[in-house]
Amino acid sequence: MSDVFAPPVEHWNRVSPALCTVQRIVTIVPVVALGAGAAVLLQLLVGWWWLTALVVVVTLGLVGWLWAWAARHQASWGYAENEDDLYVTGGVAWRRLVAVPYGRMQFVDVTAGPIDRAFGIAKVTLHTASSGTAATIPGLPADEANRLRNRMTELGEARGAGL
Amino acid sequence: MAPASDPAPDPSTPDLDVSGVDAEALEPAEVRGSRTHPASAFVRVWLFVLAAGVGSVQQLAEELDVRRAAIVIGLGLVVGGVYGVVRWLTTRYVIDGHELRVDSGLLTRTSRRAPYERIQSVDVAQPLGARILGLAELRVELAGGDGSRVALQYLTKADAHRLRGVLVERAHAVGLPAPTDDAADDPAAPRAAAVDQPERLVAQVDPGHLVVGTLLSMDLIVGAIGTLVVLAVVGVTGSFFLVVPLLLPFAGNVFRIVAGRVVAQWGSRLTRGPRGLRIERGLLGRVSQTVPVGRVQGVAVEQPILWRRWGWRRLLVDVAGSAGEKDSDENPSTLLPIGSPELARTVVREVLPGVDAESIPVEPLPRRSRWFAPIGWRRRAVGADERAFVTATGWVTHRIDVVPHAKTQSVSVSQGPLQRRLGLADVDVHTPDGPVHARVHNMDAGRARQVAIRQLDAARAARLSDDGSAAGHRVLG
């Protein structure tokens, strides 16, 4: 069976490895803070060492899983352009491949949170007249995000079709 | 407000009369502004009477005699009448070279303006009060989402329709709103003359079908049975305090269904005019809407289980620029509340020329998709012909969703972990928000990819062949 999520052109353009680091920061830091806080509180208020140990073990397990997940998440994203459409794929367990014709693009958003900016990446979202499109590419290097946005806007205007 | 601040679409030709219709007749109005119909003052008087009644409900409840009631009603009439007259005196509308403007208000002057290039649709509505007085309201929808509406309350029905014709004509002349495909249908007819062309009747919904069809709705039957059960329980046990909390959900639902499907859809009449498909409907207040045919994004054909014996169908429609699933005054999502298969086919052909929804060849899903839909998988199917993409779903209510290739927004293939194990995937052809959802779950994964790619090709081809009429008309700006 041919791979459902194979690239439509030669290969997928992959996103920046920095996305992996950013994901690890935004998911693992809160989990560690929560786990550590809970462990300290439990130790002080309840004082059952095994309960505290359980919390620590669960937290560490979660951290390990998130660590591994971030890498797979980063590796899952890909995008490709051909003459008429932009293809975006992504997702670890629930995978998705969406194709957006340039002529259907209404507008393109580039967003970057503070942590994203610190690592020089941004998220590009393509909007058509349908909210089902939901074509988002996270973790693009800032330059590439801008290039993509400009190119999409340009192509969208050139190919723009009426509804 | 100074005319100098008007957002002129084209300063070089500010007063160019492009419509070619009715310009002379309107010329004086364009200078000083016209009043709405004098009887407009009294359309909403009943609201004041109602308010007076509600406000004095306590006094009336204590001692209800004719004199008190007469005083309350009289008070409501006088206040409402004075308010209405002042409102009428202070309201004027202007139609000039580039916009419709409605100025109103005594203390706070409001000026609502509808520049022609932003007009999305113009509808004539007749709420109950206006209908009794033989008046109609002109509603102009503008691009830009909620609350962007200019309403002209009220005109005689004939005036409202005439004005609607003029506004639609000018909006088209400015060129921005999407073209209906009249030009393609009837290239010989000059645009200006089109407004006065007689409309052709496409469909008239049989009131008997409407009533029987509504009675044969699963949700109505559930609501009615619930109501009866509650009444029986209350009758047997004598616990009357249960009536309100138990009865309200069921009876309320029954009421909602009857209001929505019988009262609102009563006497549905579809006519083909120069600007698209006109829908007129409603038992108490008549609503008239236009579905611009060129902006139809998709159609759904529904066949509820209890209608199957007679083969009746219901048609839903997605129109660009009117998001939302529910029927509201300005958003027609029900195209045909009920009709025979032949009627449904005729109406679908009318909004999607050349598409016969139910005879497009479809392919079934693989047997292993039964793990996700043990009964429904037999009914599910996907297919396409040279004009449209279709999906079939639903074993209780058979449903066919049709999206013309030219209106495909984007296409996605998705797969969850269980689907991956079984080699299945979903395909979704995206349309603007509305009742039509062309998606098929649990296809063979390899086939899903082929279908998606094929759909992209078909959409591209359709867009290219459509370009002649669509170029330069980007709606939803």
Alpha carbon dihedral B402, B406, B407, B413, in 10-degree steps, equals 80
In a domain, residue A7? The reply is: no
Are A122 and A55 in the same domain?
Answer: no
Q: From CA B160, how far away is CA B393, in angstroms rounded?
A: 42
CB contact under 8 A, A96 and B473: no
Q: From CA B319, how far away is CA B298, in angstroms rounded?
A: 8
Which residue, A73, A92, A113, sits at the end of a domain? A73
Confirm or reject contact between A147 and chain B (CB < 8 A): no
Are A64 and A96 in the same domain?
Answer: no
Work out how many domains chain A is built from and give that number: 2
**How do residues B91-139 score in pLDDT, each as one tens digit?**
888 888 778 888 887 777 777 777 787 777 788 888 888 888 888 888 8
Are A107 and A153 in the same domain?
Answer: yes
In a domain, residue A67? The reply is: yes
Residue with tokens 């469909």: B203
Pairing of strands A121-127, A107-111: antiparallel
Q: Could you give the strand order of the β-sheet that contains A85-90, starting from the edge strand earlier in sequence?
A: A13-14, A78-81, A85-90, A95-101, B410-415, B424-430, B438-444
Are A69 and A82 in the same domain?
Answer: no
Q: Check: CB of residue B429 under 8 Å from CB of residue B371.
A: no
Give the residue from B51, B44, B132 showing the smallest Cα distance to B91: B44
CB contact under 8 A, B432 and A129: yes
**How do residues B354-376 score in pLDDT, each as one tens digit?**
888 888 999 999 999 999 989 98
Q: Is residue A28's pLDDT more than 70?
A: yes
More confident residue, A95 or B232: A95
- Residues facing residue B138 across a β-bridge: B124, B152
In a domain, residue A8? The reply is: no
Q: Is residue B230's pLDDT more than 60?
A: yes
**How do residues B300-354 score in pLDDT, each as one tens digit?**
999 999 999 999 999 999 887 654 444 454 456 888 999 999 999 999 998 898 8
**Alpha-carbon gap: B445 to the closest alpha carbon of chain A (Å):** 6
How is residue B25 written in tokens? Answer: 């007749």
Contact list in B for residue A135 (CB cut-off 8 A) is 410
Are A82 and A133 in the same domain?
Answer: yes
Element housing B439 (H / E): strand B438-444
**In this predicted complex, what is the ipTM?**
0.88
The predicted structure's pLDDT at residue B338: 92
Q: Is residue A72's pLDDT more than 90?
A: yes
The predicted structure's pLDDT at residue B332: 64
Q: From CA B79, how far away is CA B48, in angstroms rounded?
A: 7
How is residue B462 written in tokens? Answer: 């359709």
Are A83 and A140 in the same domain?
Answer: yes
Residue with tokens 């941004």: A122
More confident residue, B328 or B22: B328
The predicted structure's pLDDT at residue B263: 86
Residue A103, domain CATH = 2.30.29.30
Residues 6+ apart with CB under 8 A from B442: B365, B366, B369, B372, B373, B377, B380, B419, B422, B424, B425, B426
**How do residues B164-177 score in pLDDT, each as one tens digit?**
888 888 877 765 44
Q: Is A49 exposed, middle or buried (0-12, 13-18, 19+ CB in 10 A)?
A: exposed
Q: From CA B128, how far away is CA B283, in angstroms rounded?
A: 9
Q: From CA B403, how far away is CA B431, in angstroms rounded?
A: 8
Confirm or reject contact between A8 and chain B (CB < 8 A): yes
In a domain, residue A24? The reply is: yes
Contact list in B for residue A161 (CB cut-off 8 A) is 406, 463, 466-467, 470-471
**Alpha-carbon gap: B120 to the closest alpha carbon of chain A (Å):** 13
Q: Is residue B245's pLDDT more than 80?
A: no
In a domain, residue A11? The reply is: no
The model's pTM is 0.70
Secondary structure class of A68 (helix, strand, coil): helix
Selected residue of B409, B429, B474 to mutate for chain A interface (largest A Cβ count, 10 A): B409
Secondary structure class of B58 (helix, strand, coil): helix
Are A65 and A127 in the same domain?
Answer: no
Distance between alpha carbon B227 and the CA centroid of its chain, in Å? 31
A111: domain range?
A: 78-159
Are A151 and A82 in the same domain?
Answer: yes
Are A43 and A64 in the same domain?
Answer: yes
The predicted structure's pLDDT at residue B198: 59
In a domain, residue A144? The reply is: yes
Find the mean pLDDT for residues A51-58: 94
Q: From CA A134, how far away is CA A38, in angstroms rounded?
A: 37
The predicted structure's pLDDT at residue B20: 39
pLDDT band at A86 (very low <50, low <70, confident <90, very high): very high
Find the mean pLDDT for residues B76-105: 86
| Sequence-ordered strand ranges (E) for A38-134 | 78-81, 85-90, 95-101, 107-111, 121-127
Which residue, A73, A101, A136, sits at the end of a domain? A73
Q: Which residue of A1, A94, A128 is in closest CB contact with B410?
A: A128
**How do residues B140-196 score in pLDDT, each as one tens digit?**
877 654 456 788 888 888 888 888 888 888 877 765 444 343 333 333 333 333 344
Phi-psi region of A16 (alpha: psi -120 to 50; beta: other; left: phi over 0): beta
Are A58 and A97 in the same domain?
Answer: no
Q: From CA B251, how far away is CA B298, in angstroms rounded?
A: 34
In a domain, residue A6? The reply is: no
Are A69 and A83 in the same domain?
Answer: no
How is residue B464 written in tokens? Answer: 């290219």
**Alpha-carbon gap: B254 to the closest alpha carbon of chain A (Å):** 32
How is residue B438 written in tokens? Answer: 């062309």
Give the residue from B277, B260, B259 showing the smallest Cα distance to B203: B277
Are A53 and A91 in the same domain?
Answer: no
Confirm or reject contact between B465 and chain A (CB < 8 A): no
In a domain, residue A48? The reply is: yes
More confident residue, B72 or B437: B437
Residue of B nearest to A129 (CA): B432
Which residue, A38, A58, A73, sits at the end of a domain? A73
Confirm or reject contact between A95 and chain B (CB < 8 A): yes
Q: What is the DSSP letter of B331?
A: B
Type of residue found at A18: A
**Alpha-carbon gap: A72 to the closest alpha carbon of chain B (Å):** 15
